Amino acid sequence: MLKQSIFPTFLCALAPCILLAQGQLRIPMVSQRTAISQTIGLTDIAIVYHSPGVKGRTIWGGLVPYNEVWRAGANENTTIACTDPVKVDGHDLAAGTYGFHAIPGEREWTLIFSKNFTSWGSFFYDKSEDALRIKVKPIEGSFTEWLTYDFTNREETSVVIELKWEKIVVPFRIDVDVHSVVLRNFRLDLRGINGFSWQAFNQAAAYCLVNKINTEEALQWIDRAIRFNPNFSNIIVKEGLLRQVGRNGEADEIRKNAMKIATEAEMNAHGYQLLASGKTKEAIDIFLQNVEKYPDSWNAYDSLGEGYEKNGNLRLALEYYTKAFERVSDETQKNRLKNTIANLKSQVRLPK
């Protein structure tokens, strides 16, 4: 009897503990958590959301009412994070993590980026915490059972994010000022351990040269690289930067010095860089100088033959490929050149 009277009392005392413990275990959610990300330039964009299903229900104007704030997913806040400032459909948005909400309409949606990204759904949404609101037009798409976010139309500096559910697609565009992000990172990195490396200053200056940006600061960077270790690689970068600002006399002078100290491999690599950037005639000039400087190198003749082939001068290409073939000893390269020469002979009418 004593045991029977104590047991219910014990259960009553234990009940609060049981209730408190109920929310601590992880169990599967019906609307599963999903995370996707995309890098544009150096900027990471990540979306985390819970994905509900249609399950035969009326979604728009039904399960999701029109003209009311909706969590743009299920369960906790849908979040969108970007590691650098971006533009959303042309509107500025600072780097950070945002709670993502929407106000669906039949013809127009409002998309909301909230500074509060830790709440449960939209139940605690507060308009005063908005970082950005934009208007977008939904479009009709193919049926999607599970709510999905996707990155589409990816470009070097932009991407389109699409919310897809049922037969509705809601697209919005993210633009990144890639060069600004890269330059900011250069400035930070060059004040760290990379600031003791000529290669890092050379790489930063070369990026500016190729993209035709930030030339004055790039000239400062390349001068630092040259002070560390003057070599063909960084002198050629400086030449290009000087030409971009119209200082051609200085550029001509340092180019002469660069050619004097260049190795065969450095000249060859520079020629291929010119070829890759569409400067075929300039590349041929470099390859010609390499042949003159290294007349016994099969590789120098091979590169010159490729330059002429790219330029459409098949007769000269055949001539220099043949000279490369006469000098090469490696069997793999010999077979490659043999096939190249045979192919060119079939295209070029040789004098009898």
Tens of pLDDT, residues 271-281: 998 898 888 99
DSSP collapsed to 3 states, the chain: CHHHHHHHHHHHHHHHHHHHHCCCCCCCCCCEEEEEEEEECCEEEEEEEEECECCCCCCECCCECCCCCECCCCCCCEEEEECCCEEECCEEECCEEEEEEEECCCCCEEEEEECCCCCCCCCCCCHHHEEEEEEECCEEEEEEEEEEEEEECCCCCEEEEEEEEEEEEEEEEEECCHHHHHHHHHHHHCCCHHHHCHHHHHHHHHHHHHHCCCHHHHHHHHHHHHHHCCCHHHHHHHHHHHHHCCCHHHHHHHHHHHHHHCCHHHHHHHHHHHHHCCCHHHHHHHHHHHHHHCCCCHHHHHHHHHHHHHCCCHHHHHHHHHHHHHHCCCHHHHHHHHHHHHHHHCCCCCCC
| 241 vs 234: CA distance, rounded Å | 11
The pairing of strands 96-103 and 91-93 is: unpaired
Look at the alpha carbons of 215, 221, 224, 230 in this order and tell me if their dihedral is positive or negative.
negative
Contact 289, 266 (CB under 8 A): no
Q: Which residues in the chain show pLDDT less than 70? A: 1-23, 350-352
| 57 vs 65: CA distance, rounded Å | 13
Neighbours of 6 (CB within 10 A): 10
179-345 under CATH 1.25.40.10, yes or no: yes
- CATH 1.25.40.10 in the chain: give the residue spans: 179-345
Residues 6 or more apart from 263 whose CB is under 8 A from it? Answer: 232
Report the amino acid identity of residue 268.
Answer: N
Tell me, what's the pLDDT at 91?
98
Tell me, what's the pLDDT at 11?
45
Tokens 């009553």 sit on residue = 12
Angstrom CA distances, 181 to 41, 157, 184, 288, 339, stand at: 8, 11, 5, 39, 46
Closest alpha carbon to 218 in 199, 237, 205, 201: 205
pTM: 0.77
Q: In the sheet that 158-175 helps form, which strands lie side by side, from edge to edge?
A: 91-93, 86-88, 158-175, 139-152
Neighbours of 87 (CB within 10 A): 14
Tell me, what's the pLDDT at 218?
98
